[in-house]
Amino acid sequence: MTINTPSPVAPVVTRFAPSPTGFLHIGGARTALFNYLFAKHHGGTLHLRIEDTDRSRSTPEAIAAIIEGLAWLGLDHDGEVVYQFARAARHAEVAHALVASGHAYRCYASIEELDAMRAAQKAAHAPQRYDGRWRDRDPAEAPSSVKPVIRLKAPQTGATTIHDLVQGAVTVENAVLDDMVLLRSDGTPTYMLSVVVDDHDMGVTHIIRGDDHLNNAFRQLQLIRAMGWPEPAYAHIPLIHGADGAKLSKRHGALAVGEYAKMGYLPEAMENALLRLGWGHGDDEMITRNQAIAWFDTGHIGRAASRFDIKKLDNLNGHYIRSADDARLTALVLPFVEAKIGSPVSLSQHSLITKAMPELKSRAKTLLDLADGCLFLVRQRPLPIDASAEKLLDAAGLALLGDVAQTLSTEAVWDNPNLEASLKSMAERLGLGLGKIAQPLRAALTGTTTSPGIFDVLTLLGRDESLARISDTHKHTKLQ
């Protein structure tokens, strides 16, 4: 079932607000993508807010990784990055304003009192929540030894309903929501206060986030109403599970977005995969950025948890690699190639890889696959020979290569048609299928058993290099 989403009248403002206590994982990346697409669909604005109030766990490395991950995905935000910790004075100002208006109060309950309260509730099998003991008490009775916290004076009767753009109408009885702390005894604001104040000050009209925040929304809405501020629209997205339906973990591929870049995935493939996690547009599977912006709405976000399947990502990535521009792919794959060979790629090798790209990309699912396919073009002689290729270079294979070398050395025109005709004629003379000749030849030319078509390999390497590699297999009795 989908929920009809009315078109917003006011300018749309969304925000992505990660906590830098960890790197940007696919769940957060999907949330950022949905906020981005919703804002762009409505001609609105997306803000990035780093919720770094947990100073003991927030790290510069995580902040950098979040920003880099968003940049890799091409999810540009509007304006400067907002750092929540830097706005602590503004958050405290709002808490004191709520006290002045009678919507909040100072609570002088000591830690020992609160521990005893919780112990009594636990013994009575009652819900553990603050009992409001300082809600209506005269501050003149306050003990001088206790620094107070500031608590919201939340409504105790009735109910709070959120008309969620994904979940529908969700209602919670106010009696189960206690008076939450807004300002700690040391004067620092709590997460709940900071989020509400920042969303208001940033003009956020739509809050799109994981449904693990749905319970927080009821408390936040009470605070918004206490301040008399405009209420944002909420859209709480179901979480992501693994392909087996279990909670997403590293064994399912729940890695930081930056790791997927290192594993050779293209950002457009990751975006397409994230987009299809809980949102759909008919039977469309391959969706471009422009299409996603034109089509995206919250009404087609499902209520059930979506499943992340790394095999589907592989297939998507292969599709995008095959359709990518050859020059761009070459630029992307070169760092992977250089890491594998341990040296820079020369300008001539760069050109050779670009020339070979139409053939190389046809069988690759990741840039790592593509880099492996490039290696035969850039490795120095004598080539290392892998175990599978070595089996093809037995006595019979080497004898065939001797005939191949003799046959090819007479070719004056080194192109596919002439080379194919020459080797086919040789195969017929020996009463062999062309594949029987191509297998040891491929092993000698590439050091592997997989490559582009054998005639493409010959023409890419050129006459001198091809004949030299064939000769190497005879000279080196101990294969490298």
Catalytic positions: 250
**Spatial distance between the Cα atoms of 292 and 294, rounded to a whole number of angstroms:** 5
Q: Which of 335, 463, 459 is nearest to 409 (CA)?
A: 463
**Spatial distance between the Cα atoms of 30 and 238, rounded to a whole number of angstroms:** 11
Residue identified by tokens 């004598």 is 382
Give me the sheet containing 45-50, strands edge to edge.
13-16, 45-50, 82-83
Q: What angle do CA 28, 284, 6 make, to 5 degrees?
A: 65
**Spatial distance between the Cα atoms of 16 and 82, rounded to a whole number of angstroms:** 10
- Residues 360/368, Cβ–Cβ less than 8 Å: no
Residue 171 CA, chain-centre distance (Å), reads 32
- Residues 310/252, Cβ–Cβ less than 8 Å: yes
Q: How far is CA 33 from CA 30, 106, 157, 277, 280, in A?
A: 5, 40, 38, 11, 14
- The contacts of residue 477 (CB under 8 Å, 6+ apart) are none
- Residues 278/237, Cβ–Cβ less than 8 Å: yes
